[in-house]
Amino acid sequence: MAHHLNFNEAHQEYSFFSVKERAWHGLGKIVEQYLTSAEAIQFAGLNYTVEKRPLFTIDSNTDCRNNEEAVPDIAVPNYFATIRSDTEQVLGVVGKDYEVVQNVNAFEFFDAIVGGGQGMLYETAGALGKSERIFITAKLPGYIRVGKDDFIEKYLFLTTSHDGFGSITAAFTPVRIVCNNTLNAAMRNHTNAIKIRHTASAGDRLKQAHTLMGISNTMANEMQEIFNHWSTVRITDQEVKKLIQVAMVPNKEVFHNLMAGKTDKLSTTYTNMVDKVYEYAMSSPTQQMKTTAGTLFGAYNSVTGYFQNVRNYKDGEAKFKSITEGTAKQRAQTAFDLCLDFYRHLNDNLLQFN
């Protein structure tokens, strides 16, 4: 499995650090204590700057083969190269409106959320490829507590690039300690993620974005209340199966066939996936917990836990994308909404899917 971590030739080390546990790729530095942002940027090898420089090409009318004089350059209009200033590596080609957001600015974004970084616990950070893309994950102080024994840690992650591809992306995601299950809980009328394009206002927007992510952090109190309510709601195995079926629906056609009871028209891929999620819901070790076994909270976790702990992915990067912004996140959102509907219609003892 490819790791794509940047290898710093000058220092003969990988641009990555992790707290206490070595990552799946087994590379980078392992530290015993959480780092400050200043320490994290050093340990992760992200203490470099990126410059946006004019792009040139060679005059095609000049015969370079027999001409020992300097070859004249022609500026390429409206295009620039992004250069890592300490190694002079070209990281990408960008347009005139592209604005470089330095690595240090990304860490400032994290620190601003908790006020000067006093409570921000940097857990991993690193660079990929030629160092054109960086990523940071940090743990916020405190927990979401469900019942007596179920604790959910609160994480923020950010990724940005210096090659002209992709936006600056930051997201809030809670993780259950007991099974490393990324919940990706999303609240209606709220956002748990932001995306910022690399334009002239990128720097200012990143400074303002900490307010939005701070709102996501305060959502933890609301989520704690909801999850604790869900942990007291009993749900039958049949209701769990129905919730999973709807949460995993890939399109309207499947939804209509499911609601019409036309099971013969459901694809094998879909039915197998539903069976696997249901099996995880019924047999997961987390079902031994009172907050999970036979509860609405457990039904929600059966969907999120499947994508985190059971489903196979091409590689770690594919899993990361699915959980943070792809199919896994969408299915988690659907499951969250279904559980809200179930809770709201308890008096009717019905699952409301519309």
What confidence tens digit (pLDDT) does each residue in 147-162 have?
887 888 888 888 888 9
- pLDDT value at residue 272: 93
Pick from 153, 123, 125, 151: nearest CA to 138: 123
**Cα separations in angstroms, 113 against 95, 138, 200, 323:** 31, 11, 22, 23
- pLDDT value at residue 79: 93
Tell me the average pLDDT across 304-327.
82
- pLDDT value at residue 115: 61
Residue 26, pLDDT above cutoff 80: no
- pLDDT value at residue 24: 40
Lowest mean pLDDT, pick from 230-234, 294-298, 347-351: 347-351
- Quick check: 310 and 304 in contact, CB under 8 A? no
Percent of the chain with pLDDT over 90: 18
- Quick check: 63 and 135 in contact, CB under 8 A? no
Q: Which residues sit opposite 345 in a β-bridge?
A: none
CB crowding 256-276: b at 16 or more within 10 Å, else e: ebbeeeeeeebeeebeebbee
Task: Tell me the pLDDT of the chain averaged across its residues.
Answer: 79
Pick from 123, 323, 291, 109: nearest CA to 210: 109
Strand 193-196 with 168-176, pairing: antiparallel
Q: pLDDT digit string (tens) for 46-96?
A: 989 999 999 988 766 665 555 555 556 788 899 999 999 988 999 999 998
- pLDDT value at residue 117: 47
- Phi then psi for residue 250, to 5 deg, are -85, -20
pTM: 0.71
What DSSP character marks residue 5?
B
- pLDDT value at residue 214: 65
Residue 42, pLDDT above cutoff 70: yes
